[in-house]
Amino acid sequence: MPINYEQLMALKNLGQKYAYTDREVMLYAYGIGLGADPMDEKELAYVNEGTFTPRPLKVVPTFASVAAWGSSPGEMNLNRVMVVDGERDITFHKPLPSAAKITADSTVLDVFDKGKDKGAVIRHQTVLKDENGEKLATLVASRFARGDGGFGGPSEGQPEPHQVPSRAPDQIVDITTRPDQALVYRLCGDRNPLHSDPEFAKKAGFPRPILHGMCTYGITCRGVLQTYADYDPAAFKQHVARFSSPVYPGETVTMELWKDGNVVSFEAKVKARGVTVIKSGKTVLA
């Protein structure tokens, strides 16, 4: 069934209720690789609450991407086999608490028609709010529906991607993923068998399960945390990235970072295969 532009643009789902505890917060941090060195105090602050010397548990800013897992504007009736994540853009209004009851308001922002054989792009927004109705984070997701183009919708007006500087990177960071990382990260909500079932992955055209794009997104947040944010989650105001190629669990992700004022630009590559996995990355710091 082709996309009905008016119906899709009208989708909204307000007041969706969710709750999380420090367990989910620590699981997410471990799922993106924090705590790999169990003696690293800066990373332990995200995966261990402290005992003899109590300390507040820190929350990775991009935990916002799974805090209300499953929230959406509603059923979009897309060809799901052909849908891939295109981009994620999260604005952080204040640091996330380590446990909370929250609500999620989801709406469709834009639907772009790239052509019958070129697919469609759907941008939708989810606003997370605390119990007092104050905004915690605003998430904008871009989906590329490869099998749903040609419905007669607008083709112009998509936001331009962030341009990274042309100079040599100011910093380069290697972040190693674990062979079992997707099996851990899927416990944060995304049970897509593409990331866990070898048979399913092969039928989808991959030699083995791939890492979740949103796990790679979290890894890029971790890279900025350890370089320019001094592991302070309150330093993050925005984190944006475009997905360009999958990572296989066990591979090393190389982040190239540029800092200009309070803006950190980044790209991520898997040098062993000569592929760029994240493009047009941008973090705005306080």
**Residue 181: which of 241, 240, 246 has the closest Cα?**
246
- The rounded distance, in Å, linking the Cα atoms of 154 and 85 is 20
For the question of residue 212 being annotated catalytic, the response is no
Q: Which of 89, 124, 148, 195 is catalytic?
A: 195
Integer CA distances (angstroms), 8 to 2, 76, 109, 110, 123, in order: 11, 6, 10, 9, 11
Tell me the torsion sign for CA atoms 151, 156, 157, 161.
positive
For the question of residue 117 being annotated catalytic, the response is no
| Three-point CA angle 115, 282, 167, nearest 5° | 100
Q: Which of 105, 113, 190, 239 is catalytic?
A: 190
- Side chain identity, residue 121: V
Q: Are strands 252-260 and 171-176 parallel, antiparallel or unpaired?
A: antiparallel
Question: What residues have CB less than 8 Å from 164, skipping those under 6 apart?
Answer: 256, 258, 265, 266, 267, 280, 281
- Count CA atoms closer than 13 A to 51's CA, side-chain side: 0
Task: Write out the catalytic residue numbers.
Answer: 190, 195
